[in-house]
Amino acid sequence: MTSISDSSVSFDETDTRRDEMYSTIDAWIDDLVTAVDEAQSSDEFLEWLDVQSRFHDYSYRNTLLIKRQCPEATKVAGYRTWQNEFDRHVTEGESAIWIWTPIITTRCPECENSPSYHEKIGCEYDETPPEKWSEGLVGFKPAPVFDVSQTEGEPLPELDTAARGEATDLLPELINIADDICVRVNVVSDAEWIHGDADGICRRSGSEEKPTVKIHDRESRAAVAGTLIHEYAHALLHFDGVDETERSKREVEAEAVAYIVGRYCGLDMSGSAFYLAAWESDDAETVRDRLARINRAAEELIERIAD
pLDDT for 8 beyond 60? no
Mean pLDDT value across the chain: 88
Q: What is the pLDDT of residues 248-302, one digit of tens each?
A: 788 899 999 999 999 999 999 999 999 999 886 566 778 888 888 899 999 999 9
8 A C-beta contact, residue 301 and residue 233: yes
- Strand (E) positions, 17-166? 76-77, 88-90, 97-106, 135-147, 151-153
- Rounded distance between C-alpha atoms, residue 85 and residue 21, angstroms: 49
What average pLDDT does this structure show over 16-41? Answer: 87
Name the CA radius of gyration of the chain, rounded: 25
Residue 217 is predicted with a pLDDT of 96
Q: Residue ranges per domain, the chain?
A: 17-48+158-306, 76-153
Q: What distance in Å separates the CA atoms of residue 9 and residue 232, rounded to the nearest whole number?
A: 21
Q: Residue 3 above 70 pLDDT?
A: no
pLDDT at 130 over 80: yes
pLDDT at 31 (0 to 100): 94
72 DSSP assignment: T
Bigger pLDDT: 283 vs 3: 283
Amino acid making up residue 179: D
Q: Is the pLDDT of residue 16 over 60?
A: yes
DSSP letters spanning 212-223? EEEEE--S-HHH
Residue 164 DSSP code: B
**What pLDDT, on a 0 to 100 scale, did the predictor assign at position 169?**
93
What is d(CA 78, CA 80) in angstroms, rounded to the nearest whole number? Answer: 6
Tens digit of each residue's pLDDT (9 = 90 or more) over 181-191: 999 999 999 99
The secondary structure of 174-231 as a DSSP string is HHHTTGGGT-EEEEEPGGG--STT-SEEEEE-TT-SSEEEEEE--S-HHHHHHHHHHH
- Euclidean distance between the first and the last CA atom of the chain, given in angstroms as a whole number: 33
Average pLDDT over residues 19-39: 89
How far apart are the C-alpha atoms of 1 and 38, rounded to whole Å?
Answer: 8
pTM tops 0.85: no
